[in-house]
Amino acid sequence: MLYGVEGIGKSTFGSQAPKPIFIQTEDGLDEIDCDRFPLATKFDDVIAALKSLVSEKHDYETVVIDSLDWLERLVWDKLCQQYGVESIEKVDGGYARGYTHALTLWREVLDLLNVLRSRGMVIVLIAHSKVERFEDPESSPYDRYSPRLHKHAAALIKEWCDAVLFATRKMRTQTEEAGFNRKRTVAHAIGKDGGERVMRAYGSPSCVAKNRYGISEELSLSWPAFMSAMTAN
């Protein structure tokens, strides 16, 4: 899974993977030359696309779901339809049961992805980021970036993935005079075009990330850089 802010290059990363096909749950691929299924507007559209990759002959080597947070909306819509309610909060009488029931639909997606992975396909999951408050039992609470998903779904998908990558820009901070004996800390981008785009494959207080490949350094935001780091470890 690769997550980060809008426009940083997450879909481009997916398009650089070997022979990709996109399952798109949101618009945003107009500038990228890639094969794709029609825009999924229902959860069943996503399942149908995955089942076609499982059952039909093709030469695609990568499937990219873009994006998970928009897919989550389709999951919730499916549950609301099943239970005849207007909100995920009201599914099965409320009390957050809807988010637990949603895991059944998420597992349906992951089961199909497992079939494709067992056949040698690469799975790339794209998500946007959010800032969350993390209550660290060993220190004071702090803010960190995480995938923009409900915590139950996020936990399930993060465990399933071999790598959770955070896409960001290189920044530096410096203290400047703000007048009246006050100072302020200002962030500046490092590099051109708003800052060098990088990804982190390891967790830190600033972001949720992990990998099972032993990658412990910051990487350029590109598929070749990721592959190079994987083979070097």
The greatest distance separating any two alpha carbons of the chain, rounded to the nearest whole angstrom, comes to 70
pLDDT of residue 170: 79
Structural domains for the chain: 2-168+196-232 (3.40.50)
Q: To the nearest whole number, what is the mean pLDDT of the chain?
A: 90
- Extract the tokens encoding 205: 């207080």
Please answer whether residues 36 and 21 qualify as being in contact, where contact means their C-beta atoms are separated by less than 8 angstroms: yes
Strand partners, 204: 207
- 62 vs 17: CA distance, rounded Å: 7
pLDDT of residue 174: 44
- 23 vs 54: CA distance, rounded Å: 14
pLDDT of residue 201: 95
Pairing of the two strands 197-200 and 219-220 = antiparallel
- 104 vs 81: CA distance, rounded Å: 15
Element containing residue 17 per DSSP (H, E): none
pLDDT of residue 183: 55
pLDDT of residue 187: 43
- 130 vs 145: CA distance, rounded Å: 6
pLDDT of residue 182: 64
pLDDT in tens, 160-195: 999 999 999 975 544 555 566 665 543 444 445 556
pLDDT of residue 80: 95
- 63 vs 157: CA distance, rounded Å: 16
pLDDT of residue 185: 47
Mean pLDDT for 24-35 is 88
pLDDT in tens, 88-97: 999 998 888 9
pLDDT of residue 132: 93
Burial class of residue 193 (count of CB atoms within 10 Å of its CB; 0-12, 13-18, 19+): exposed
pLDDT in tens, 115-173: 999 999 999 999 999 999 988 888 888 899 999 999 999 999 999 999 999 999 975 54
